[in-house]
Amino acid sequence: MKNALITGMLLIGILSQVSAQRGWEAGGWVGGAFYLGDLNTNYDLSNPGLAGGVIARFNFNKRICFKVSANYLQLSADDANSTNAFERARNLSFQSDVFEGSFHMEFNFLPYTHGSRDEFFTPYVFGGFNVFHFNPVTEYEGELVELRPLGTEGQFRGEEYLSVSGGLTYGVGMKVSLSYELSLNFELNARSLFTDYLDDVSTVYPDKDDVLQIRNDELAVILSDRSIPIEGIPDSQIGQEGTQRGNSTNNDTFITLGVGLVYYFGDLRCPSPGRNF
């Protein structure tokens, strides 16, 4: 009898923990976006792009949540800013607007209750996946030129890299409840992408005659190789067919750092049959 009573009390405790704080919250966030890839191998974070979006989160309990978000980011990089002489000689650059949908699970390290005086904050970790659209462009003679349609690494027509890709998302954050309804979220979110062409750079320099034949466009040839003379870098090491243009062994990455304001709606589940309000 004693064991049954203890077991019952434990089950009640577990069930109350599972149901506590169950419900939806939604809001928006704003912050900065950082690109890491073939045009930023030095992990330079001094030139963030604008980032922001809207989020919706379902709290299963005080610990576990599911979140979806729709985000907009601006990413860019320029070899001219590199400390690496080879990269400065390569002289490539890009910028891209990124439109992203993200889906992930969150785990709160501490019990978190909206409006509570005792459980009003928690650090958390999360992981999931994203889907995003990108379109790298570069500036040439004062105008922005789309790079993907030019096949700058010798891609045949119809075999260009896709402008929609995905990746794995993961990161850490901090939630702080301001009231029962409102809370602040501070979040660092990294994406390991399934593409290496976020910046239009991945493999080797193509044969320029082949590019011209495939694209019938002098601009495609020009933008496939924009290398400039740099002291200490032999001409034979850059711009020639088959020499390194990028590093295809590592896919690109981008990171966002932001703060969000979220409104908690509480439990919005449909009422059970016969339930009175």
Secondary structure (DSSP) of 195-252: -S-TTS--SBPPPHHHHHHHH--HHHHHHH------TT--GGGSSSTTSBSS-TTS--
Cβ atoms of 33 and 73 closer than 8 Å: yes
**The tokens 């709290």 sit on which residue?**
59
Cβ atoms of 251 and 193 closer than 8 Å: yes
What does the alpha-carbon distance between residue 130 and residue 168 come to, in Å, rounded to a whole number? 6
Q: How many residues does the chain have?
A: 277
pLDDT at 6: 46
Pick from 55, 60, 70: nearest CA to 100: 70
3-state DSSP assignment of residue 10: helix
Kindly state the helix (H) or strand (E) to which residue 90 belongs, with its residue range: helix 85-90
Q: List per-residue pLDDT tens for the chain, 277 residues long.
A: 445 444 444 433 444 444 457 899 999 999 999 999 999 999 999 999 999 999 999 999 999 999 999 999 999 999 999 999 999 999 999 999 999 999 999 999 999 999 999 999 999 999 999 999 999 999 999 999 999 999 999 999 999 999 999 999 999 999 999 999 999 999 999 999 999 999 999 999 999 999 999 999 999 999 999 999 998 888 888 899 999 999 999 999 999 999 999 999 986 554 555 544 4
- Topology classification of domain 21-265: Porin (2.40.160)
Provide the β-strand partners of residue 146. 137
Give the burial string for 16-27 (b: 16+ CB within 10 Å, else e): eeeebbeeebeb
Kindly state the helix (H) or strand (E) to which residue 18 belongs, with its residue range: helix 2-19
What does the alpha-carbon distance between residue 270 and residue 251 come to, in Å, rounded to a whole number? 44
pLDDT at 61: 94
